[in-house]
A and B are shown apart, each in its own frame.
Chain A
Amino acid sequence: MKRATASARKPKPLPGGSEWTFESIDRYHTEIARVAKSYGLDTYPVQVEIITAEQMMDAYASVGMPVNYHHWSFGKHFLATEKGYRRGQMGLAYEIVINSNPCIAYLMEENTLTMQGLVIAHAAYGHNSFFKGNYLFRTWTNADAIIDYLVFARHYITHCEERYGEEEVELLLDSCHALMNLGVDRYKRPPKLSLAKEKLRQEEREAYLQAQVNDLWRTLPAHDARTETRPERQRFPAEPEENLLYFIEKNAPLLEPWQREVVRIVRKVAQYFFPQRQTQVMNEGWATFWHYTLLNTLYDEGLLTDSFMLEFLQSHTNVVAQPPYNSRWYNGINPYALGFAMWRDIRRICEAPDDEDRQWFPDIAGSDWRETFDFAMRNFKDESFIAQYLSPKVMRDFRMFAILDDDREDKLKVSAIHDDAGFHRVRQMLSEQYNLGNREPNIQVWSVDLRGDRSLTLRHQRHQRRPLGESTDEVMKHIARLWGFTVRLESVDESGRRELMHEARVEKRRNSAEN
């Protein structure tokens, strides 16, 4: 911050003090929007909504969405948030921003004027431009339709509760939630959602889907006798399917049409959040970088008071703090801190590269930073962003080191640190750490015993010999509930050895099997 330039011109500063008014928010927004535009940020239109702390907790509990269907787990999150907030253990996330068009940014009424300004810069311009630009969001989410879709989902589920009972719907949702992180398409582009179409097609789909499923299973008894003599068995599914919820929606034999629709709703919501989970560092870092840059620019223009800046910087510093590994506050690498440091560093590499930078980043050293930013923001996710742009300087600043924990060894090993020999390895490890494919178990639908007991077999491809967590048995029961027949989970290790790990048996339904 250069105080000299500010005092030279003397434009009228924006309102100060901590009390906000609608006019002052409007003025802050106007100035922030102007500066953002001058930096070339491309955003959806902004809609600012003032809400109370309680409403913030509401939104927080229902995964940040303004509307959502009802489920006890959201109540649980609400209670947990409320408790933390009441005791003052936890400040509320001071912003929630919704990837929609227009982009909705929530401002909490308790916030000071400074915080409102910070949130507008952070959410309404930082996150907003990221949502609009990043390829994952462009590919996987549809900002125009998400609110509409959630309205549809809520009504549909309420309707189901009226018709089939809350208990029934709740059990179904429990099961679907258990599979939520395995309910996303990773490589196919989902069709666009819209409320009108969705309503129109929903009934159609019901009838059609049910007919298909019926076909699949209807032919069974007739073939039963001949199965043994057939030389080759027809595999089903023909290719392994990684989207468990999708597979269940389309193929589970006993689900009612409305149940399929509910599975689909959960799957769609999971899909919507999929990009967010993959761009945490980039997205938060980006928004943090921009609120820092935009507000500092305004300060340099003399529009912000010193007291505003002090409060803002205090809050900003808390957000980007990175405690060391041995601190009691350490909770992994702080995505805000890492992201902010990386974006700042990219700008530095563009504007003032040194020899190391020229060697590591020959293509961006000395380039125009805005163009480089735009390219990086649009075309990467955390994993690739770190692999591409994490510089030795950031690794040194964070004093990063990698630890190898092999349960066959007695001791942990420091595999690399922030030195010339270790930069590549640390960077690679950190990148892999953000690879969802590594973070989550690789489980696919392997086969269905069409001719026999209709059991479903899932296959878990082990990564680095890591076993599944302790709640797997619970999840298996949920899968069995959805599938309606026995479900097995096989584990395959890196040498290809196969092992039956979990099994959730379902008693054969006599009447339906024999008719």
Chain B
Amino acid sequence: MVRIIDRRFDSKHKSTVNRQRFMRRFKQQIRKAVSEAIHGRSIRDLDNGEEVSIPARDLSEPTLHQGRGGIWEQVFSGNDQFSSGDLINRPLGGGGGSGKGKASNEGEHEDEFVFQLSREEFLDLFFEDLELPRMIRTQLARVTDYKTQRAGFTSDGVPANINIVRSMRGALGRRLALGSPYNARLRELQRELDSELARCGDDSEEVRRLRDEIGRLRAKIDRIPFIDSFDLRYNNRIKVPRPTTQAVMFCVMDVSGSMDEERKSTAKRFFMLLHLFLTRTYEHIEVVFIRHHTVAKETDEDEFFHSRESGGTVVSSALVLMRDIIRERYANGQWNIYGAQASDGDNWDNDSPICRKLLDSEILPWCQYFAYIEITSGEPQNLWREYEKLDGAHANFAMQHIESPADIYPVFRELFKKTIA
């Protein structure tokens, strides 16, 4: 009599429409929450969803209800101390006590509405915020490494690729096919010859004639070539682009005294963006953090962003270290190397030409892409002027100038436009 219906497999995500409508309606607030969320994240950690909280009052649904004030008489449970006629002080904050139960019935809200964005929703909003065209992503995805792989056999090729088994099999077949009419005739003649021999002995006219004919046929069969040029089969190999699945990203940052927290935070956002784009393309990404003042040092992420140094700046020290690390760990051709350098542009004067040369001859040839951002509110510094000479000479080099965190998105776009052009 009871009907049990298994509904588990039908119409999942029924609320998706409602959820999308919710997202659309509160896009402004959600977007704001997303860009705030980026502050608090590690640069490798853009790939998860995000818990977003927006002020509850923005999305409350108003109703007509009774507010606080006037006379309320309410029943509570768990009396442990009161008798009739007792007077009690109002609970502090006006919220508790008699107003409380009522308030929750009326749908008063907590201050923040918190919910979980899925990874897709988060990234959508993130990309939307950047106003970056999608093609940049595909641009980043371009890889130039190929591998060859077998793809059957072909009748054309170089001798080194001849497939002997296939070729011989073809030749055998051809020989059988071409020889079969002769062979049939040969067998027939042989039978006639045998019966003639049995009937009238060895030297009749007929026997000689048959023997001649058999001889001619044998010669014909022997003339069928053992192997012919069209028997040849070659192993076919084709080139397929191999998606390189790993990349290494170098974050190079100046941490001398002139880089303050704000500039570091700007640089961090830039690195996050780059990392995010790389994760779209590569399965495995390593990040190398190189900080420098007068000497360079490889560090972990935490130290990279959070410890302070003072003193002068020798940018080339970092580039030398980067070069050495590339040679040591990533030079086997299986790594896509990306570099991002952030600095306030302040460098020891004689060092900037060295930096340029290092990049020009020792780093850029290895890199898929190298981006330099100069975070300064003033005039371009000497490093900028040196790097300008590189700009244009290398397609995989880009540089931009950032004044404040607000500039970062347009600048990022600029950087990647360049590679498309």
Contact = CB atoms under 8 A, between A and B. Distances in A.
B88 interface: yes
B105 A332 contact: yes
Interface string A306-327: 0000000000000000111111
A190 B249 CA distance: 69
A443 B64 contact: yes
Given A79-B19, A474-B62, A72 B74 contact: no
A138 interface: no
Interface in A324-370: 324-327, 330-333
Contact of A79 (B22, B68, B82, B83): B22
Interface stretch (B3-11, B202-210, B309-317, B390-398): B3-11
Interface in B57-74: 59-74
Contacts of A413: 85-88
Interface in B67-100: 67-80, 82-90, 97-99
Interface string A458-500: 0000111111111110110010000000000000000000000
A25 to B, nearest CB: 6
A403 B64 contact: no
Interface stretch (B113-121, B135-143, B255-263, B295-303): B113-121
Contact of A466 (B14, B20, B66, B77): B66
Interface in A138-179: 166, 170, 174, 177-179
A326 B2 contact: no
B80 A399 contact: yes
Contact of B66 (A54, A78, A405, A440): A440
A419 interface: yes
Interface string B116-147: 10000000000000000000000000000000
Given A76-B22, A475-B63, A405 B5 contact: no
Contact of B98 (A55, A412, A469): A412
A61 B18 contact: yes
B67 A55 contact: no
A430 B12 contact: no
Contact of B97 (A324, A399, A412, A474): A412
Interface in B1-49: 1-8, 11-15, 17-25
A61 B75 contact: no
B116 A82 contact: yes
B8 A71 contact: no
B86 A414 contact: yes
Nearest to B77: A398
B407 interface: no
B71 A326 contact: no
A384 interface: no
Contact of A181 (B64, B73, B74): B64
Nearest to A48: B4
B169 to A, nearest CB: 58
Contacts of B88: 403, 411-414
Interface string A427-455: 00110110000011101000000000000
A514 B415 CA distance: 60
Given A48-B3, A86-B116, A441-B64, A55 B90 contact: no
B88 to A, nearest CB: 5
A79 B118 CA distance: 11
A478 B296 CA distance: 64
Given A324-B78, A405-B98, A440-B65, A78 B15 contact: yes
B76 A75 contact: no
A403 B67 contact: no
A74 interface: yes
Given A78-B19, A79-B19, A407 B71 contact: yes
A418 B69 CA distance: 26
A157 B206 CA distance: 104
A102 interface: yes
A374 interface: no
A414 B8 contact: no
B17 to A, nearest CB: 5
A123 B353 CA distance: 80
B192 interface: no
Contacts of B21: 70-72, 75, 166, 170
A55 B5 CA distance: 14
Contacts of B18: 61-62, 70-72, 74-75, 78
Interface residues of B, number: 64
Contacts of B73: 402-405, 415, 429, 432
B84 A49 contact: no
Contacts of A47: 2-3, 5
Interface size class, chain A: 35 or more
Contacts of B61: 73, 174, 177-178
A465 B72 CA distance: 9
A216 interface: no
B104 interface: yes
Interface in A400-425: 400-407, 410-419, 421-422
B111 interface: no
Contacts of A58: 14-15
Contacts of B113: 76, 79-80
Contact of B84 (A80, A179, A410, A421): A421
B101 interface: yes
Contacts of A177: 61
A412 B73 CA distance: 10
A327 B78 contact: yes
A72 B25 contact: yes
B106 interface: yes
A102 B3 CA distance: 10
Nearest to B85: A414
A333 to B, nearest CB: 6
B101 to A, nearest CB: 4
B82 A61 contact: no
B249 to A, nearest CB: 32
Nearest to A493: B70
B74 A51 contact: no
A181 B67 CA distance: 15
B111 to A, nearest CB: 14
A71 B66 CA distance: 26
A100 B113 CA distance: 33
A476 to B, nearest CB: 9
B79 A399 contact: yes
Nearest to B82: A414
A221 interface: no
Given A80-B113, A178-B62, A401-B79, A22 B71 contact: no
Given A433-B75, A467-B67, 7 more contacts: A47-B3, A51-B7, A55-B14, A75-B17, A82-B116, A179-B64, A441-B66
22 contacts: A47-B3, A49-B6, A50-B5, A55-B7, A55-B8, A61-B15, A74-B15, A75-B21, A325-B79, A401-B82, A403-B74, A412-B97, A418-B79, A426-B75, A429-B75, A440-B64, A441-B64, A466-B66, A467-B67, A469-B63, A470-B67, A471-B64
6 nearest interchain CB pairs?
A324-B78, A75-B22, A75-B18, A471-B62, A465-B70, A466-B70
